[in-house]
Protein backbone atom coordinates (compact mmCIF):
# COMPACT_ATOMS: atom_id res chain seq x y z
CA UNK A 1 0.00 0.00 0.00
CA UNK A 2 1.30 3.44 -0.88
CA UNK A 3 0.71 6.20 1.68
CA UNK A 4 0.86 9.89 0.70
CA UNK A 5 1.69 12.17 3.67
CA UNK A 6 2.18 15.86 4.16
CA UNK A 7 5.79 16.98 3.91
CA UNK A 8 6.16 20.10 5.97
CA UNK A 9 9.76 20.86 5.26
CA UNK A 10 12.44 19.23 3.18
CA UNK A 11 16.01 20.22 2.58
CA UNK A 12 17.44 20.60 -0.92
CA UNK A 13 19.38 17.38 -0.53
CA UNK A 14 16.34 15.53 0.61
CA UNK A 15 14.31 16.86 -2.32
CA UNK A 16 16.92 15.80 -4.82
CA UNK A 17 17.18 12.45 -3.16
CA UNK A 18 13.45 11.94 -3.43
CA UNK A 19 13.13 13.18 -7.01
CA UNK A 20 12.79 9.74 -8.29
CA UNK A 21 10.17 9.01 -5.69
CA UNK A 22 8.17 12.06 -6.80
CA UNK A 23 8.21 10.97 -10.40
CA UNK A 24 6.98 7.59 -9.36
CA UNK A 25 4.25 9.25 -7.31
CA UNK A 26 3.02 11.24 -10.30
CA UNK A 27 2.96 8.11 -12.36
CA UNK A 28 1.02 6.38 -9.64
CA UNK A 29 -1.51 9.19 -9.53
CA UNK A 30 -2.09 9.05 -13.29
CA UNK A 31 -2.51 5.31 -13.12
CA UNK A 32 -4.82 5.37 -10.07
CA UNK A 33 -2.45 3.65 -7.69
CA UNK A 34 -2.78 6.30 -4.94
CA UNK A 35 -5.17 5.32 -2.15
CA UNK A 36 -4.66 8.14 0.37
CA UNK A 37 -4.50 11.93 0.09
CA UNK A 38 -3.98 14.82 2.50
CA UNK A 39 -6.13 17.93 2.02
CA UNK A 40 -4.91 21.25 3.42
CA UNK A 41 -6.72 24.54 3.88
CA UNK A 42 -9.07 23.71 6.76
CA UNK A 43 -8.60 24.02 10.50
CA UNK A 44 -6.75 20.74 10.41
CA UNK A 45 -5.28 18.65 7.67
CA UNK A 46 -7.62 15.95 6.43
CA UNK A 47 -6.16 12.56 5.51
CA UNK A 48 -8.17 10.33 3.21
CA UNK A 49 -7.02 6.76 3.09
CA UNK A 50 -8.62 4.51 0.53
CA UNK A 51 -8.43 0.82 0.36
CA UNK A 52 -8.36 -1.24 -2.77
CA UNK A 53 -5.50 -1.68 -5.20
CA UNK A 54 -4.93 0.51 -8.26
CA UNK A 55 -8.48 1.88 -8.44
CA UNK A 56 -8.41 3.41 -4.96
CA UNK A 57 -7.72 7.01 -5.96
CA UNK A 58 -10.22 6.93 -8.77
CA UNK A 59 -12.73 5.45 -6.37
CA UNK A 60 -12.23 8.37 -4.03
CA UNK A 61 -12.78 10.93 -6.79
CA UNK A 62 -15.67 9.09 -8.36
CA UNK A 63 -17.46 8.86 -5.01
CA UNK A 64 -18.09 12.59 -5.21
CA UNK A 65 -21.45 13.70 -6.63
CA UNK A 66 -20.05 16.95 -7.95
CA UNK A 67 -17.34 17.44 -10.50
CA UNK A 68 -13.82 17.20 -9.11
CA UNK A 69 -10.34 17.35 -10.52
CA UNK A 70 -6.78 17.27 -9.27
CA UNK A 71 -4.03 19.48 -10.65
CA UNK A 72 -0.34 19.55 -10.02
CA UNK A 73 1.49 22.72 -9.08
CA UNK A 74 2.01 23.55 -12.78
CA UNK A 75 -1.70 23.52 -13.48
CA UNK A 76 -1.62 20.23 -15.34
CA UNK A 77 -4.80 18.22 -14.94
CA UNK A 78 -3.94 14.94 -13.25
CA UNK A 79 -7.41 13.46 -12.98
CA UNK A 80 -11.04 14.47 -13.60
CA UNK A 81 -13.90 12.41 -12.26
CA UNK A 82 -16.83 11.26 -14.37
CA UNK A 83 -19.18 13.86 -12.86
CA UNK A 84 -16.94 16.60 -14.24
CA UNK A 85 -16.67 14.89 -17.62
CA UNK A 86 -20.46 14.78 -17.74
CA UNK A 87 -20.78 18.44 -16.78
CA UNK A 88 -18.32 19.48 -19.47
CA UNK A 89 -19.63 16.92 -21.98
CA UNK A 90 -16.10 15.71 -22.65
CA UNK A 91 -14.50 12.25 -22.22
CA UNK A 92 -11.74 11.99 -19.64
CA UNK A 93 -8.97 11.63 -22.22
CA UNK A 94 -9.89 15.03 -23.71
CA UNK A 95 -9.46 16.81 -20.36
CA UNK A 96 -5.84 15.95 -19.69
CA UNK A 97 -3.06 18.48 -19.44
CA UNK A 98 -4.20 22.02 -20.42
CA UNK A 99 -7.31 20.87 -22.32
CA UNK A 100 -9.73 22.14 -19.66
CA UNK A 101 -8.19 25.60 -19.75
CA UNK A 102 -8.60 25.54 -23.51
CA UNK A 103 -12.37 25.42 -23.08
CA UNK A 104 -12.35 28.80 -21.35
CA UNK A 105 -12.20 32.26 -22.81
CA UNK A 106 -9.45 34.67 -21.83
CA UNK A 107 -11.32 36.16 -18.86
CA UNK A 108 -12.26 32.81 -17.35
CA UNK A 109 -8.80 31.40 -18.00
CA UNK A 110 -7.36 34.24 -15.92
CA UNK A 111 -9.84 33.50 -13.13
CA UNK A 112 -9.05 29.80 -13.25
CA UNK A 113 -5.28 30.29 -13.23
CA UNK A 114 -5.56 32.71 -10.30
CA UNK A 115 -7.56 30.12 -8.36
CA UNK A 116 -4.96 27.42 -9.07
CA UNK A 117 -2.20 29.65 -7.78
CA UNK A 118 -4.03 30.80 -4.66
CA UNK A 119 -5.38 27.35 -3.81
CA UNK A 120 -1.84 26.04 -3.54
CA UNK A 121 -1.70 27.96 -0.25
CA UNK A 122 -5.27 28.06 1.08
CA UNK A 123 -8.86 27.24 0.22
CA UNK A 124 -10.28 29.63 -2.36
CA UNK A 125 -13.45 29.92 -4.40
CA UNK A 126 -14.27 31.54 -7.74
CA UNK A 127 -16.93 31.43 -10.43
CA UNK A 128 -16.26 30.67 -14.07
CA UNK A 129 -18.51 30.40 -17.11
CA UNK A 130 -17.97 27.70 -19.73
CA UNK A 131 -19.78 27.19 -23.02
CA UNK A 132 -20.71 23.52 -23.20
CA UNK A 133 -22.13 22.86 -26.63
CA UNK A 134 -24.69 25.62 -27.13
CA UNK A 135 -25.27 26.17 -23.41
CA UNK A 136 -23.48 28.63 -21.17
CA UNK A 137 -22.79 26.93 -17.85
CA UNK A 138 -21.71 28.59 -14.61
CA UNK A 139 -19.55 26.76 -12.05
CA UNK A 140 -18.59 27.56 -8.51
CA UNK A 141 -15.02 26.34 -8.08
CA UNK A 142 -13.57 25.55 -4.68
CA UNK A 143 -9.89 24.78 -4.59
CA UNK A 144 -7.74 23.55 -1.72
CA UNK A 145 -4.10 22.46 -1.36
CA UNK A 146 -3.44 18.76 -1.77
CA UNK A 147 -0.25 16.72 -1.39
CA UNK A 148 0.52 13.55 -3.28
CA UNK A 149 3.50 12.23 -1.44
CA UNK A 150 6.09 14.97 -1.82
CA UNK A 151 4.22 16.58 -4.71
CA UNK A 152 1.96 19.55 -3.98
CA UNK A 153 -1.11 20.26 -6.04
CA UNK A 154 -4.66 21.52 -5.93
CA UNK A 155 -7.95 19.68 -5.66
CA UNK A 156 -10.85 21.59 -7.22
CA UNK A 157 -14.54 20.82 -7.06
CA UNK A 158 -16.95 22.07 -9.77
CA UNK A 159 -20.47 22.87 -8.56
CA UNK A 160 -22.91 23.61 -11.37
CA UNK A 161 -24.74 26.82 -10.40
CA UNK A 162 -26.26 27.44 -13.84
CA UNK A 163 -29.80 26.71 -12.68
CA UNK A 164 -29.39 28.87 -9.62
CA UNK A 165 -28.12 31.75 -11.74
CA UNK A 166 -30.91 31.23 -14.25
CA UNK A 167 -33.46 31.39 -11.44
CA UNK A 168 -31.77 34.53 -10.08
CA UNK A 169 -31.69 36.03 -13.59
CA UNK A 170 -35.35 35.15 -14.09
CA UNK A 171 -36.26 36.79 -10.79
CA UNK A 172 -34.22 39.86 -11.69
CA UNK A 173 -35.84 39.98 -15.12
CA UNK A 174 -39.29 39.71 -13.55
CA UNK A 175 -38.41 42.40 -11.02
CA UNK A 176 -37.19 44.64 -13.85
CA UNK A 177 -40.32 43.95 -15.89
CA UNK A 178 -42.52 44.82 -12.90
CA UNK A 179 -40.55 48.03 -12.35
CA UNK A 180 -40.96 49.01 -16.00
CA UNK A 181 -44.64 48.14 -15.81
CA UNK A 182 -45.14 50.19 -12.64
CA UNK A 183 -43.17 53.17 -13.96
CA UNK A 184 -45.03 53.45 -17.26
CA UNK A 185 -47.24 56.52 -17.61
CA UNK A 186 -49.54 54.66 -19.94
CA UNK A 187 -52.01 52.15 -18.61
CA UNK A 188 -50.61 48.66 -19.26
CA UNK A 189 -52.72 45.52 -18.99
CA UNK A 190 -51.34 42.01 -19.53
CA UNK A 191 -53.73 39.24 -20.53
CA UNK A 192 -53.19 35.51 -20.91
CA UNK A 193 -54.15 33.56 -24.01
CA UNK A 194 -57.74 33.25 -22.84
CA UNK A 195 -58.03 37.04 -22.51
CA UNK A 196 -58.00 37.18 -18.72
CA UNK A 197 -56.10 39.94 -16.98
CA UNK A 198 -52.92 38.72 -15.26
CA UNK A 199 -51.02 41.96 -14.58
CA UNK A 200 -51.82 45.66 -14.55
CA UNK A 201 -49.88 48.75 -13.55
CA UNK A 202 -50.96 51.65 -11.35
CA UNK A 203 -52.14 53.74 -14.30
CA UNK A 204 -54.44 50.92 -15.39
CA UNK A 205 -55.84 50.44 -11.91
CA UNK A 206 -57.35 53.93 -12.08
CA UNK A 207 -59.53 53.07 -15.05
CA UNK A 208 -60.21 49.38 -14.46
CA UNK A 209 -63.03 47.81 -12.58
CA UNK A 210 -62.42 46.68 -9.02
CA UNK A 211 -60.13 43.64 -8.68
CA UNK A 212 -59.47 43.23 -12.42
CA UNK A 213 -56.91 40.43 -12.01
CA UNK A 214 -58.42 37.18 -13.24
CA UNK A 215 -61.34 38.83 -15.00
CA UNK A 216 -61.87 38.76 -18.77
CA UNK A 217 -60.56 41.95 -20.33
CA UNK A 218 -64.00 43.20 -21.38
CA UNK A 219 -65.15 42.92 -17.75
CA UNK A 220 -62.04 44.53 -16.32
CA UNK A 221 -62.30 47.57 -18.56
CA UNK A 222 -65.37 48.87 -20.36
CA UNK A 223 -64.50 50.17 -23.83
CA UNK A 224 -66.67 51.75 -26.50
CA UNK A 225 -65.59 52.56 -30.04
CA UNK A 226 -67.39 55.54 -31.50
CA UNK A 227 -66.11 54.87 -35.02
CA UNK A 228 -66.95 51.16 -35.00
CA UNK A 229 -70.23 51.19 -33.07
CA UNK A 230 -71.09 47.65 -31.91
CA UNK A 231 -68.80 45.95 -34.42
CA UNK A 232 -65.72 46.24 -32.21
CA UNK A 233 -65.13 45.40 -28.57
CA UNK A 234 -62.22 45.15 -26.18
CA UNK A 235 -62.36 41.36 -26.27
CA UNK A 236 -61.93 41.45 -30.06
CA UNK A 237 -58.71 43.43 -29.71
CA UNK A 238 -57.35 41.10 -27.04
CA UNK A 239 -58.24 38.04 -29.12
CA UNK A 240 -56.47 39.46 -32.18
CA UNK A 241 -53.31 40.33 -30.24
CA UNK A 242 -53.22 37.02 -28.34
CA UNK A 243 -53.59 35.30 -31.70
CA UNK A 244 -50.48 37.03 -33.00
CA UNK A 245 -51.94 40.05 -34.78
CA UNK A 246 -50.95 43.39 -33.25
CA UNK A 247 -53.46 46.24 -33.03
CA UNK A 248 -52.25 49.83 -33.05
CA UNK A 249 -53.72 53.25 -32.39
CA UNK A 250 -57.48 52.75 -32.11
CA UNK A 251 -59.40 55.54 -30.41
CA UNK A 252 -61.92 54.49 -27.81
CA UNK A 253 -63.73 55.71 -24.72
CA UNK A 254 -63.33 54.09 -21.31
CA UNK A 255 -66.02 54.21 -18.72
CA UNK A 256 -64.04 54.43 -15.51
CA UNK A 257 -65.00 53.25 -12.08
CA UNK A 258 -65.82 56.86 -11.20
CA UNK A 259 -68.47 56.86 -13.97
CA UNK A 260 -66.40 59.37 -15.93
CA UNK A 261 -65.58 58.67 -19.54
CA UNK A 262 -61.97 58.92 -20.62
CA UNK A 263 -60.84 59.11 -24.22
CA UNK A 264 -57.94 56.74 -24.88
CA UNK A 265 -55.80 55.38 -27.70
CA UNK A 266 -55.58 51.59 -27.39
CA UNK A 267 -52.88 49.32 -28.79
CA UNK A 268 -52.26 45.62 -28.21
CA UNK A 269 -49.33 43.36 -29.04
CA UNK A 270 -48.72 39.61 -28.70
CA UNK A 271 -46.84 38.57 -25.55
CA UNK A 272 -44.00 36.24 -26.50
CA UNK A 273 -41.90 35.20 -23.49
CA UNK A 274 -39.68 32.62 -25.19
CA UNK A 275 -39.62 30.90 -28.53
CA UNK A 276 -42.35 31.68 -31.01
CA UNK A 277 -45.32 30.73 -28.88
CA UNK A 278 -47.68 33.58 -27.94
CA UNK A 279 -48.43 33.57 -24.21
CA UNK A 280 -51.08 36.28 -24.31
CA UNK A 281 -51.00 39.97 -25.11
CA UNK A 282 -50.03 43.36 -23.70
CA UNK A 283 -52.62 46.14 -23.99
CA UNK A 284 -51.61 49.79 -23.60
CA UNK A 285 -54.01 52.70 -23.17
CA UNK A 286 -52.86 56.29 -23.70
CA UNK A 287 -55.05 58.97 -22.14
CA UNK A 288 -56.33 61.34 -24.83
CA UNK A 289 -58.59 63.41 -22.58
CA UNK A 290 -56.57 66.61 -22.84
CA UNK A 291 -56.13 66.28 -26.60
CA UNK A 292 -59.80 65.54 -27.12
CA UNK A 293 -60.80 68.45 -24.88
CA UNK A 294 -58.54 70.72 -26.93
CA UNK A 295 -60.08 69.42 -30.15
CA UNK A 296 -63.56 70.07 -28.80
CA UNK A 297 -62.59 73.59 -27.74
CA UNK A 298 -61.10 74.21 -31.15
CA UNK A 299 -64.26 72.97 -32.84
CA UNK A 300 -66.36 75.27 -30.65
CA UNK A 301 -64.09 78.19 -31.44
CA UNK A 302 -64.26 77.46 -35.14
CA UNK A 303 -68.03 77.30 -34.96
CA UNK A 304 -68.18 80.53 -32.94
CA UNK A 305 -65.78 82.21 -35.36
CA UNK A 306 -67.88 81.12 -38.31
CA UNK A 307 -70.98 82.47 -36.59
CA UNK A 308 -69.36 85.80 -35.78
CA UNK A 309 -67.88 86.24 -39.23
CA UNK A 310 -71.31 85.73 -40.79
CA UNK A 311 -72.88 88.21 -38.34
CA UNK A 312 -70.15 90.73 -38.99
CA UNK A 313 -70.53 90.43 -42.75
CA UNK A 314 -74.30 90.88 -42.41
CA UNK A 315 -73.69 93.95 -40.27
CA UNK A 316 -71.24 95.35 -42.82
CA UNK A 317 -73.77 94.85 -45.59
CA UNK A 318 -76.45 96.61 -43.54
CA UNK A 319 -74.14 99.51 -42.69
CA UNK A 320 -73.14 99.78 -46.34
CA UNK A 321 -76.75 99.86 -47.54
CA UNK A 322 -77.86 102.31 -44.85
CA UNK A 323 -74.90 104.61 -45.36
CA UNK A 324 -75.42 104.64 -49.12
CA UNK A 325 -79.08 105.61 -48.70
CA UNK A 326 -78.23 108.64 -46.54
CA UNK A 327 -75.16 110.05 -48.27
CA UNK A 328 -75.40 112.26 -51.32
CA UNK A 329 -71.99 111.72 -52.92
CA UNK A 330 -69.60 108.81 -53.29
CA UNK A 331 -66.97 110.73 -51.35
CA UNK A 332 -69.35 111.19 -48.41
CA UNK A 333 -70.28 107.51 -48.59
CA UNK A 334 -66.65 106.42 -48.59
CA UNK A 335 -65.83 108.66 -45.63
CA UNK A 336 -68.82 107.60 -43.52
CA UNK A 337 -68.67 103.94 -44.46
CA UNK A 338 -64.92 103.59 -43.89
CA UNK A 339 -65.24 105.35 -40.52
CA UNK A 340 -67.92 102.93 -39.36
CA UNK A 341 -66.00 99.89 -40.62
CA UNK A 342 -62.88 101.14 -38.86
CA UNK A 343 -64.90 101.52 -35.65
CA UNK A 344 -66.14 97.99 -36.08
CA UNK A 345 -62.59 96.73 -36.74
CA UNK A 346 -61.21 98.57 -33.70
CA UNK A 347 -63.75 96.91 -31.42
CA UNK A 348 -63.00 93.51 -32.96
CA UNK A 349 -59.30 94.05 -32.32
CA UNK A 350 -60.00 94.78 -28.66
CA UNK A 351 -62.18 91.70 -28.41
CA UNK A 352 -59.52 89.54 -30.05
CA UNK A 353 -56.81 90.85 -27.71
CA UNK A 354 -59.09 90.11 -24.75
CA UNK A 355 -59.92 86.60 -26.07
CA UNK A 356 -63.51 87.76 -26.67
CA UNK A 357 -64.28 88.18 -23.00
CA UNK A 358 -63.90 90.65 -20.13
CA UNK A 359 -63.75 93.67 -22.46
CA UNK A 360 -64.59 96.83 -20.49
CA UNK A 361 -66.71 99.81 -21.59
CA UNK A 362 -63.86 102.27 -20.95
CA UNK A 363 -61.63 100.36 -23.41
CA UNK A 364 -64.27 100.52 -26.15
CA UNK A 365 -64.74 104.26 -25.58
CA UNK A 366 -61.00 104.96 -25.42
CA UNK A 367 -60.29 103.35 -28.80
CA UNK A 368 -63.04 105.37 -30.50
CA UNK A 369 -61.86 108.68 -29.00
CA UNK A 370 -58.15 108.03 -29.58
CA UNK A 371 -57.96 109.56 -33.12
CA UNK A 372 -59.36 112.89 -31.89
CA UNK A 373 -58.44 113.50 -28.24
CA UNK A 374 -56.61 111.90 -25.37
CA UNK A 375 -57.79 111.45 -21.83
CA UNK A 376 -54.70 113.34 -20.57
CA UNK A 377 -55.85 116.54 -22.33
CA UNK A 378 -58.33 117.21 -19.54
CA UNK A 379 -61.22 117.68 -21.99
CA UNK A 380 -62.53 114.15 -21.58
CA UNK A 381 -63.48 112.47 -18.33
CA UNK A 382 -64.66 108.94 -17.65
CA UNK A 383 -66.27 107.73 -14.50
CA UNK A 384 -67.37 104.26 -13.44
CA UNK A 385 -66.87 102.61 -16.85
CA UNK A 386 -64.64 99.75 -15.75
CA UNK A 387 -67.51 97.37 -16.42
CA UNK A 388 -67.07 94.21 -18.50
CA UNK A 389 -69.53 93.60 -21.34
CA UNK A 390 -70.09 90.70 -23.67
CA UNK A 391 -68.83 90.76 -27.26
CA UNK A 392 -72.21 91.65 -28.83
CA UNK A 393 -72.70 94.62 -26.50
CA UNK A 394 -69.09 95.71 -27.08
CA UNK A 395 -69.65 95.82 -30.85
CA UNK A 396 -72.86 97.81 -30.44
CA UNK A 397 -71.23 100.23 -28.00
CA UNK A 398 -68.33 100.67 -30.40
CA UNK A 399 -70.68 101.78 -33.17
CA UNK A 400 -72.63 104.07 -30.82
CA UNK A 401 -69.45 105.71 -29.48
CA UNK A 402 -68.16 106.07 -33.04
CA UNK A 403 -71.28 107.92 -34.19
CA UNK A 404 -71.33 110.13 -31.08
CA UNK A 405 -67.61 110.87 -31.41
CA UNK A 406 -67.92 111.67 -35.14
CA UNK A 407 -70.84 114.04 -34.44
CA UNK A 408 -68.92 115.70 -31.56
CA UNK A 409 -65.86 116.21 -33.78
CA UNK A 410 -67.96 117.71 -36.59
CA UNK A 411 -70.47 119.80 -34.66
CA UNK A 412 -70.13 119.33 -30.90
CA UNK A 413 -67.73 119.63 -27.97
CA UNK A 414 -64.74 118.11 -29.75
CA UNK A 415 -64.99 120.66 -32.59
CA UNK A 416 -63.56 123.45 -30.37
CA UNK A 417 -60.67 123.70 -27.90
CA UNK A 418 -63.00 124.76 -25.07
CA UNK A 419 -65.45 121.87 -25.43
CA UNK A 420 -65.53 119.09 -22.87
CA UNK A 421 -66.92 115.58 -22.85
CA UNK A 422 -67.99 113.47 -19.88
CA UNK A 423 -68.98 109.81 -20.04
CA UNK A 424 -70.03 108.30 -16.73
CA UNK A 425 -72.00 105.59 -15.11
CA UNK A 426 -75.38 106.77 -13.81
CA UNK A 427 -76.36 103.53 -12.10
CA UNK A 428 -78.68 100.56 -12.33
CA UNK A 429 -82.33 100.90 -13.22
CA UNK A 430 -85.10 99.01 -11.47
CA UNK A 431 -84.96 96.19 -14.00
CA UNK A 432 -81.21 95.81 -13.48
CA UNK A 433 -80.19 97.57 -16.70
CA UNK A 434 -77.05 99.72 -16.63
CA UNK A 435 -77.37 103.40 -17.51
CA UNK A 436 -74.45 105.51 -18.67
CA UNK A 437 -74.49 109.07 -19.91
CA UNK A 438 -72.61 110.83 -22.72
CA UNK A 439 -72.63 114.59 -22.03
CA UNK A 440 -71.00 117.37 -24.07
CA UNK A 441 -70.62 120.96 -22.79
CA UNK A 442 -68.73 124.21 -23.38
CA UNK A 443 -68.82 123.63 -27.10
CA UNK A 444 -70.67 125.57 -29.80
CA UNK A 445 -74.37 126.26 -29.45
CA UNK A 446 -76.26 123.16 -30.46
CA UNK A 447 -79.41 123.13 -32.54
CA UNK A 448 -81.33 119.94 -33.29
CA UNK A 449 -80.80 118.57 -36.81
CA UNK A 450 -83.63 119.11 -39.26
CA UNK A 451 -83.34 115.62 -40.71
CA UNK A 452 -82.50 112.26 -39.11
CA UNK A 453 -79.37 110.65 -40.55
CA UNK A 454 -78.17 107.06 -40.42
CA UNK A 455 -75.90 107.92 -37.51
CA UNK A 456 -78.91 108.74 -35.34
CA UNK A 457 -80.63 105.54 -36.47
CA UNK A 458 -77.56 103.48 -35.66
CA UNK A 459 -77.30 105.07 -32.20
CA UNK A 460 -80.94 104.46 -31.38
CA UNK A 461 -81.04 100.87 -32.67
CA UNK A 462 -77.66 99.49 -31.69
CA UNK A 463 -78.57 98.54 -28.12
CA UNK A 464 -82.23 97.82 -28.75
CA UNK A 465 -85.11 99.93 -27.59
CA UNK A 466 -87.77 99.82 -24.88
CA UNK A 467 -87.35 99.55 -21.10
CA UNK A 468 -84.57 96.92 -21.21
CA UNK A 469 -82.11 98.81 -23.40
CA UNK A 470 -81.56 101.50 -25.97
CA UNK A 471 -80.47 105.11 -26.25
CA UNK A 472 -82.10 108.53 -25.92
CA UNK A 473 -80.37 111.37 -27.75
CA UNK A 474 -80.96 115.02 -26.70
CA UNK A 475 -79.67 118.06 -28.55
CA UNK A 476 -79.45 120.53 -25.69
CA UNK A 477 -78.17 124.04 -26.52
CA UNK A 478 -75.26 123.45 -24.12
CA UNK A 479 -74.33 120.22 -25.79
CA UNK A 480 -75.46 116.76 -26.88
CA UNK A 481 -76.54 114.38 -24.14
CA UNK A 482 -77.09 110.66 -24.82
CA UNK A 483 -78.55 108.30 -22.24
CA UNK A 484 -77.37 104.75 -22.97
CA UNK A 485 -79.14 101.82 -21.33
CA UNK A 486 -77.55 98.38 -21.50
CA UNK A 487 -79.85 95.45 -20.68
CA UNK A 488 -78.72 93.39 -17.70
CA UNK A 489 -78.92 89.76 -18.62
CA UNK A 490 -75.86 88.52 -20.39
CA UNK A 491 -74.73 91.94 -21.52
CA UNK A 492 -72.56 93.22 -18.71
CA UNK A 493 -71.05 92.17 -15.42
CA UNK A 494 -71.59 94.83 -12.76
Mean pLDDT across the stretch 473-481? 92
Q: Which of 19-33, 149-163, 412-426 has the highest mean pLDDT?
A: 412-426
Q: Given pLDDT bands bounded at 50, 70 and 90, which one contains residue 70? A: confident
Mean pLDDT across the stretch 350-368? 83
Average pLDDT, the chain: 81
**Prediction pTM value:** 0.47
Of all residues in the chain, what percent carry a pLDDT higher than 90? Answer: 23
Q: Given pLDDT bands bounded at 50, 70 and 90, which one contains residue 5? A: very low
Q: Which of 31, 45, 145 is nearest to 79 (CA)?
A: 31
Q: Tell me, what's the pLDDT at 118?
A: 92
The set of residues, in sequence order, having a beta carbon less than 8 Å from that of 492 and lying 6+ positions away, is 361, 387, 388, 389, 390, 393, 434, 486
pLDDT at 92 over 60: yes
Mean pLDDT across the stretch 309-328? 85
Q: Tell me, what's the pLDDT at 2?
A: 39
Q: Tell me, what's the pLDDT at 425?
A: 94
Q: Tell me, what's the pLDDT at 465?
A: 54
| pLDDT tens readout for residues 374-412 | 766 788 999 999 998 888 888 888 889 999 999 999 899
Q: Given pLDDT bands bounded at 50, 70 and 90, which one contains residue 206? A: confident
pLDDT at 17 over 60: no
Mean pLDDT across the stretch 422-435? 89
| pLDDT tens readout for residues 35-58 | 555 555 555 555 555 444 445 556
Q: Given pLDDT bands bounded at 50, 70 and 90, which one contains residue 4? A: very low
Write phi, then psi, for 127 (nearest 5 degrees).
-115, 140
* Contacts by residues 40-44 (CB-CB < 8 Å, ≥ 24 positions apart): 40/6, 40/122, 40/144, 40/145, 40/146, 40/147, 41/119, 41/122, 41/123, 41/144, 41/145, 42/123, 42/144
Cα angle, residue 45 at apex, residues 42 and 47 outer, rounded to 5°: 130
In sequence order, the β-bridge partners of residue 225 are: 229
Task: Say how far residue 268 (Cα) sits from the centre of its chain.
Answer: 18
Amino acid sequence: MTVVSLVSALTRDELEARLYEAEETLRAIREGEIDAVVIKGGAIEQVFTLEGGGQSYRTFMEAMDIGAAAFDAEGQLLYANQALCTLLDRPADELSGQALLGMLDAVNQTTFRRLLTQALKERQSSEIHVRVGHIERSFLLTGAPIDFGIVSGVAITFTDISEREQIAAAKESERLARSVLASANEAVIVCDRSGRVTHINAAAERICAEAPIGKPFEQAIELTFADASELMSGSDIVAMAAGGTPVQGLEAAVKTSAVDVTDVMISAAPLIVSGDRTQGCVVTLINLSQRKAAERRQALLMGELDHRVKNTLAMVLAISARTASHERTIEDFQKSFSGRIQALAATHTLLSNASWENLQIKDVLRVELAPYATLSSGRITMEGLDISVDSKTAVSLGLVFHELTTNAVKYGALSTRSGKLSVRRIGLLDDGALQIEWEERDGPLVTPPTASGFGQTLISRSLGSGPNGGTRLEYRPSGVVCQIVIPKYGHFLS
